Structure 1
Amino acid sequence: MPRLPLLNTRDSVPPEDRPVFDAIIECRGAVTAPVALLLHAPETALQAAKLGAYFRSGANLPPDVFELAIITTAREFGCEFVWAAHAEAAVNAGVPREVVDAIGARGETAGFPHRYRIVAEYTRSIVRDHRVEQPVFDAMRDEFGERGLTDVTALTGFYLLLACALIANDMELPAGRPGFPERTGS
């Protein structure tokens, strides 16, 4: 049970905040964690929902890159909830299972296909190292262009925001979803 209640039904939201709830429904189709936690600050939740909608439909990122950046962010930041919600989506988007498993185990990226290695190293640099070395930055820009690089950077920050809300509220894993695999290296 999360520390703050999930505000995931219209009746759970104070009447003065229901227009925000309705706008989130219009934007996302549903109010689920972590947005249901962010609704304790309604405008924050609304802006997060809008940014999430942009990433899902307007970002210049292929689905496999999108999901790989999310699971790498989740793993490096230690947010099992986001990992559990996106690991299988990454496979379904075309990321090889071996890549997903290696990210989950914080394993090496040397054997990854080129584009996945670049995304994983770039995202790890941001989250784990708090610094992106010039060769990593250049490889990311060369592969995805300035817009793709910027979208991955912003997507990483967005999922850090969501992970903070989930971790601070001690949100449990979704039912039936596995957490991180055992660590094998790094």
Structure 2
Amino acid sequence: MTATIPQGFGPTTEERLPLPAAEQMSEAQRAAAEALIAGPRKGVKGPFIPLMHSPVLLERLAGVGEYLRFESVLPTRINEFATLIVARHLGSQFEWAVHRPLALNAGVAEATLADLAQGARPRTMAEDEADAWAFATELLHHHSVSDPTYAAALRRWDERGVIELSGLIGYFTCVSWIMNIARTPAPGSDAPLGAFPA
């Protein structure tokens, strides 16, 4: 059995930026927390714990994330699969634990996610998943995509979909980096990310 990865590949899981105590929150922090609790996330969790230390950034990123997760033109299955590609790439235990069950519920195959969890190109993918995998992987590794990969995504999702897929990858990269730096703890998972093969 492979060892699990602490958030951000670090040697320790000691949280650096925990949620401020309620009595120590500023008015802006309290307002940000109340908005998260009232919104689709129903609580202050994950990246929004360290982001409480910058409530304006929290509010703006939360809006971007809500749009990309709940209003994007991308099919939910592709949205969740691309999120997990980012989580695997960045060692984000939190995003993996949260989005893996959502991807399974949206129709991504268990075998696909098992390969992805090992850092491998999934052997079994639907055609649109293969297009999303190529796009996300090239963007994460090369900071752009090739002409054939771009053309495949454009045929599949049109200009708006290409922009929203790019934005989704960027958004989850941003919040994963924040949690990696903060060492934000992940919820328990029955299938945590394992270490990359040596």
Q: Same fold judged by TM-score > 0.5?
A: yes
Counterparts in 2 of 1:16 and 1:117: CA distance versus 1, 3 Å: closer
Counterparts in 2 of 1:101 and 1:49: CA distance versus 1, 3 Å: same
Q: 1-side partners of 2:159 and 2:28: how far apart?
A: 41
1:145-156 pair list within 5 angstroms: 145-156=158-169
Deviations 1:18-74 (A, max 9, x none): 223323333332111211211100101111111121123211121101100100011
Counterparts in 2 of 1:116 and 1:60: CA distance versus 1, 3 Å: same
Aligned 8 A contact 2:136 2:169 in 1:
yes
Q: Which runs of 5+ in 2 are unaligned?
A: 1-13
AA paired with 2:34?
D
Q: Counterpart of 2:147?
A: 134
Counterparts in 2 of 1:132 and 1:69: CA distance versus 1, 3 Å: same
Aligned 8 A contact 2:112 2:123 in 1:
no
Alignment match of 2:31 (pick from 7, 13, 19): 19
Q: 2-side partners of 1:178 and 1:37: how far apart?
A: 25
Question: Scaled by the length of structure 1, what TM-score is found?
Answer: 0.88
Aligned 8 A contact 2:86 2:136 in 1:
yes
Q: Counterpart of 2:6?
A: none
CA drift of 1:92 comes to 1.1
Q: Which runs of 5+ in 1 are unaligned?
A: none
Counterparts in 2 of 1:4 and 1:183: CA distance versus 1, 3 Å: closer
How many pairs align?
184
Q: Counterpart of 2:127?
A: 114
Q: 1-side partners of 2:163 and 2:169: how far apart?
A: 10
Alignment match of 1:83 (pick from 81, 88, 96): 96
Q: 1-side partners of 2:31 and 2:124: how far apart?
A: 49
Question: Scaled by the length of structure 2, what TM-score is found?
Answer: 0.83
